């Protein structure tokens, strides 16, 4: 317990220092917040446009109507903003620390190295999307044609966090490969590709091309469960068929975290530092 409290304190100091730094460069902070929010608004506008032509997405299956899909978009925003605020800047910097030998200092500290590397910077500006997502979610929920139960409301944030954990695991695993590769600058590309797949309902992946894709991104690289499971949990009435998906999401998260821990630890053993 003392250990946990100590880790929480360290994290709060990371968060505080990051905020102090962000506030020092307030114009940069504002520009980052506005650009990230603008991107989200453009995305939302795109879907509003789509729903001006159709009633739902994924017709012929368990389709998503407009307000259900707004819940889906809000979920995407929650997951993305949390990953981008807490993990993305750190994963990106990790590659650079490996290349320049800056990782030396992280290895000296009497604290879990993965914790230190993963959380030492917080990008507060990325949380502007989180605030916007709260508003969009509130709007969508009040327009749904049914009311979610308390169980659904409570399970939702838990599954959002599981989604964040899956994304984090993928990201830190990829960043850790820099130790073996010397340089890995594909992190942003990777993020773009992966989030592109994860931000659509599973139902659209059908047919000879879609089904293998759905299986690949559900069972091998489980990014499709990241948004789909929590969004479905809140946006639609609970069906027994979804139970297995919820259980699978839990197992996939645990497996992702364990795998990423293993990759990170193995990679650290191969760290060779850089010239002083």
Q: Which residues in this chain contact another protein in the complex, by CB under 8 A?
A: 6, 9-10, 13-14, 17, 20-21, 24-25, 101-102, 104-105, 107-111, 113, 116, 269, 271-276
Report the length, in residues, of the chain: 276
**205: CB partners within 8 A, 6+ apart:** 211, 213, 214, 217, 224
How many Å apart are CA 244 and CA 249, to the nearest integer?
A: 9
Cβ distance to another protein smaller for residue 5 or 49:
5
Q: Token pair of 80, please?
A: 């993305």
**Closest separation in Å from C-beta 8 to another protein:** 10
Residue 183 token pair: 């340089």
Q: Least distance from C-beta 102 to another protein, angstroms?
A: 7
* Token pair recorded at residue 9: 């304190």
Nearer to another protein, 18 or 128 (CB): 18
> 267 Cβ partners below 8 Å, 6+ apart?
176, 177, 179, 180
Query: Residue 93's closest CA among 178, 200, 160?
Result: 178
- Both tokens of 6, joined, read 């100590």
Shortest separation between residue 270's beta carbon and another protein, angstroms: 9
Phi, psi of 184 (to 5 degrees): -145, 100
Instruction: Name the CA radius of gyration of the chain, rounded.
Output: 20
Backbone region of residue 60 per phi and psi (left: phi > 0; alpha: psi in -120 to 50; beta: other values)? left
Q: Which helix (H) or strand (E) holds 57?
A: strand 56-57
- In the bound complex, what is the minimum distance in angstroms from residue 81's beta carbon to another protein? 23
CA distances from 7 to 21, 174, 224, 248 (A): 21, 24, 31, 29
Structure tokens at 100: 């320049």
Shortest distance, position 147 Cβ to another protein, whole Å? 44
Judged by beta carbon, residue 27 or residue 52, the one nearer another protein is 27
Cβ 189 to another protein, closest distance in Å?
20
CB of 172 to another protein, least distance (A): 18
């Amino acid at each position: 317990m003392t250990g946990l409290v100590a880790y929480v304190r360290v994290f709060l100091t990371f968060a505080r220092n990051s905020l102090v730094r962000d506030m020092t460069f307030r114009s940069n902070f504002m520009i980052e917040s506005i650009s990230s929010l603008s991107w989200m608004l453009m995305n939302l506008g795109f879907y509003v446009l789509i729903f001006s032509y159709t009633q739902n997405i994924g017709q012929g299956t368990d389709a998503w109507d407009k307000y259900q899909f707004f819940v889906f978009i809000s979920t995407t925003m929650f997951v993305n903003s949390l990953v981008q605020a807490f993990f993305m800047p750190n994963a990106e910097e990790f590659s650079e620390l490996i290349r320049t030998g800056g990782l030396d200092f992280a290895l000296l500290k009497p604290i879990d190295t993965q914790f230190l590397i993963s959380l030492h910077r917080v990008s507060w500006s990325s949380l502007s999307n989180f605030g916007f997502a709260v508003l969009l979610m509130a709007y969508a929920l009040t327009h749904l044609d049914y009311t979610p139960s308390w169980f659904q409301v409570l399970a939702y944030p838990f599954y959002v966090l599981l989604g964040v954990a899956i994304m984090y695991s993928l990201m830190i695993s990829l960043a850790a490969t820099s130790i073996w590769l010397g340089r890995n600058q594909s992190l942003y590309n990777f993020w773009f590709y992966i989030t592109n797949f994860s931000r659509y309902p599973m139902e659209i992946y059908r047919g000879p091309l879609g089904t293998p894709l759905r299986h690949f991104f559900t069972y091998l690289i489980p990014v499709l469960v990241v948004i789909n499971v929590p969004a479905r949990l809140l946006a639609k009435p609970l069906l027994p068929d979804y139970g297995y998906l919820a259980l699978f999401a839990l197992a996939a998260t645990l497996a992702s975290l364990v795998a990423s821990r293993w990759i990170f630890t193995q990679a650290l053993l191969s760290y060779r530092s850089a010239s002083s």
